[in-house]
Amino acid sequence: MPRQKNVLLVFLPSESGVDGARSLYDEKRSNPLLRSFNHSLRSLIKQSQFAIPPLSLMILSSLDVPGVEQSICDMRFEEFPFDKTWDLVGISVQTGMARKAFTLADQLRSRGIAVVLGGAHVTLFTDSCKPHADVLVLGEADDLWKEVLTDLTTERLKPLYQSANFPDLNISRPVSKRSLVKNRYFTTNLIQTGRGCQYNCDFCNVHLLNGHTLRRRAIADVVSEVERFKLHDQRIFFFVDDSINADPLYAQELFRQLIPLKIRWFGQSTTTLGQQHELLETFARSGCQALLVGIESIEAKSRHAHKKNQNRAGELVCAIKNIREAGISLYGSFIYGLDGDTLDTPAAILDFINQTKLDVPGINILRPIPGTKVFERLREEGRLLFDPLDVTAYRYSFGQEMLYQPKNIPLDAFVESYSLLTRQVFSIKNALIRGVRAPQAKSAVMLFNLFYAHLYRLSRHDLQQQMEKKHTKKPFCHTPNNF
């Protein structure tokens, strides 16, 4: 009888943010008391349960193949278990952590462990991943992973697995949480209702990876999954779709059916929800506590320049007020540094936050992710501050470094204005006020704002360090070339 195959699915932590905020620069030179405080705060943020499980690995680990036992290693919370025997290790690779993924993959392969790489980065930059893997999986792996595991049991693994079509989400694929350590996470109740995005924002890669067509799971499957998940975890549900209201007729029927289940849930939507009055009411009745909305920019020129055309700026204030008046707290995400932004933009953002009373503002710096249209345009214009020919030079950080030259604002002036804006928005006083006046999830709103007060302080520190280095060493700029 063949020996059981042991497969480990690995999720890697980012460099900063809620995975454990840390400076991108050497902290050893800082005050010992400050180092100790930062270390303690990192641990608190990491243990605060705002982390959620990696849904993609939950989906893959739910597949049952005779002769295969699957486990998940979430390296935000644990070291890689080198002391155990693994027949195959799968690593989910995001572009901002590609270098870390490659280092781990090389280490495993040097020990004779077969490695499969998948995820967004592998799909977009296949050739750069080949030297670091025995197997590559391109695209959405719902159907492909079963083929990989079956081939593993027969010792016939292929170097590449790729499907010509997106998975049919109407096919029932029950998700299991058996591989998760429940108490590590804010909640294990992650639900995905569909994939794809009909929009073309040039700083986003969702439509590149998942297509422009909205693909939806059967409502009956989603409702059944919610019922089943609730039996084992009574905490909040998180609908992880990029825009849960993108198909309003589908969303209306789904959440109407969820009303009797009396769950509480968070999700992500567009501000258009504030104009979809019947759907907004259904969201509130079904237990919606808070939503993340991508405002990105209130500057008309910036929205047009980056193809963020879902709402006219004049509609945003009314929409946000409508959502909050329905009893739903809002996390509003901004990007400062888009091509229509000027040094007047921070004051406009601050006025907008005060006018709408956003519960958790997020002030982000544009991240030119390799593979997106904005990356290509900035590369062609010679505005990138990292080597575009080195895919792993891009990394994710919590607004702690500039990766490009803003179009209308000198770099030093941008950093100074960004630092002033975040100092005005995030303070202990503002965190307490936002927590008290939030329509729902008051404790979560307050904690997020308190954590952000620390994270943006860290961001200001690192940006200043980068600017000091810039004056002693010329930052990287690359002339137009093929990526």
Decide if pLDDT at 483 tops 50.
no
Q: Is the dihedral angle over the CA atoms 400, 406, 409, 412 positive or is it negative?
A: positive
- C-alpha dist (Å) from residue 196 to 62, 63, 204, 215, 308: 22, 22, 12, 6, 16
Beta bridge partners of 364: 335
The span from the CA of 167 to the CA of 171, in Å, is 9
Decide if pLDDT at 312 tops 80.
no
Q: List pLDDT tens digits, range 109-140.
A: 999 999 999 999 999 999 999 999 999 999 99
Q: List pLDDT tens digits, range 55-95.
A: 999 999 999 999 999 999 999 889 999 999 999 999 999 88
- C-alpha dist (Å) from residue 57 to 79, 147, 197, 320, 335: 17, 16, 22, 34, 29
Decide if pLDDT at 306 tops 70.
no
Decide if pLDDT at 451 tops 90.
no
Tokens 């590590």 found at: 184
Decide if pLDDT at 427 tops 50.
yes
Decide if pLDDT at 397 tops 70.
yes
Question: In which band, very low, low, confident or very high, does the pLDDT at 399 lie, cut at 50, 70 and 90?
Answer: confident
Q: List pLDDT tens digits, range 185-238.
A: 889 999 999 998 887 788 888 877 787 788 899 999 999 999 999 999 999 999
Q: Where are the alpha helices (DSSP H) in 326-410?
A: 345-356, 373-380
Mean pLDDT of the residues in the chain: 88
Decide if pLDDT at 38 tops 80.
no
Q: What is the pLDDT of residue 228?
A: 97
Average pLDDT over residues 322-347: 95
Decide if pLDDT at 309 tops 70.
no
Q: Which two tokens stand for residue 10?
A: 């690995």
Contact between 449 and 430 (Cβ < 8 Å): yes
Q: What is the pLDDT of residue 212?
A: 74
Residue 102 CB burial class (10 angstroms; 0-12, 13-18, ≥19)? buried
Question: In which band, very low, low, confident or very high, does the pLDDT at 180 lie, cut at 50, 70 and 90?
Answer: very high
CATH topology of domain 187-380+407-450: pyruvate-formate lyase- activating enzyme (3.80.30)
Contact between 126 and 153 (Cβ < 8 Å): no
Decide if pLDDT at 472 tops 60.
yes
The span from the CA of 265 to the CA of 192, in Å, is 13
Q: What is the pLDDT of residue 302?
A: 53
Is pLDDT larger for residue 468 or for residue 108? 108
The span from the CA of 388 to the CA of 392, in Å, is 9
Decide if pLDDT at 356 tops 70.
yes
Q: What is the pLDDT of residue 18?
A: 55
Average pLDDT over residues 274-279: 96
Tokens 């709408």 found at: 356
DSSP-derived 3-state class of residue 149: helix
Q: What is the pLDDT of residue 26?
A: 62
Residues of the chain with CATH 3.80.30.20: 187-380+407-450
- Matching CATH number, 5-162, of 3.40.1550.10, 3.40.50.300, 3.30.1050.10, 3.40.50.2300: 3.40.50.2300
Type of residue numbered 85: T
DSSP code of residue 3: P
Q: Using H for helix, E for strand and C for coil, what is the string for 52-103?
A: CCCHHHHHHHCCCCCCEEEEEEECCCCCCCCCCCCCEEEEECCHHHHHHHHH
Residues of the chain with CATH 3.40.50.2300: 5-162
Determine which of 135-149, 222-236, 268-282, 443-457 has the lowest per-residue pLDDT on average: 443-457
Give phi and psi for 448, each to the nearest 5: -60, -45
Beta pairing, strands 68-74 & 5-11 = parallel
List Cβ neighbours of 183 (8 Å cut-off, separation of 6 or more).
none
Average pLDDT over residues 272-296: 96
Decide if pLDDT at 473 tops 70.
no
The span from the CA of 239 to the CA of 269, in Å, is 10
Decide if pLDDT at 481 tops 50.
no
Decide if pLDDT at 168 tops 70.
yes
Question: What interhelical angle do 219-232 and 248-258 show, nearest 10?
Answer: 40
Average pLDDT over residues 46-63: 82
DSSP code of residue 289: E
Determine which of 21-25, 69-73, 98-102, 477-481 has the lowest per-residue pLDDT on average: 477-481
Q: Which of 63, 422, 86 is closest to 73 using CA atoms?
A: 86
Question: In which band, very low, low, confident or very high, does the pLDDT at 2 lie, cut at 50, 70 and 90?
Answer: confident
The span from the CA of 8 to the CA of 87, in Å, is 8
Q: What is the pLDDT of residue 189?
A: 96
Residue 67 CB burial class (10 angstroms; 0-12, 13-18, ≥19)? middle
Question: In which band, very low, low, confident or very high, does the pLDDT at 480 lie, cut at 50, 70 and 90?
Answer: very low
- The helix or strand, by DSSP H or E, that contains position 363, with its residue range, turns out to be strand 360-365
List Cβ neighbours of 111 (8 Å cut-off, separation of 6 or more).
82
Q: List pLDDT tens digits, range 340-355.
A: 999 999 999 999 999 9
Q: List pLDDT tens digits, range 241-266.
A: 989 999 999 999 999 999 999 999 99
Q: What is the CA radius of gyration of the chain?
A: 23
Q: What is the pLDDT of residue 479?
A: 43
Residue 324's CB: how many other CB atoms inside 10 A?
21
Q: Which two tokens stand for residue 284?
A: 């509130």
Contact between 117 and 136 (Cβ < 8 Å): yes
Give phi and psi for 59, each to the nearest 5: -65, -45
- C-alpha dist (Å) from residue 414 to 93, 108, 212: 31, 42, 34
DSSP structure string for 414-479: HHHHHHHHHHHH--HHHHHHHHHH-SS-HHHHHHHHHHHHHHHHHHHHHHHHHHHHHTTSPPP---
Q: What is the pLDDT of residue 482?
A: 35
Tokens 């825009």 found at: 243
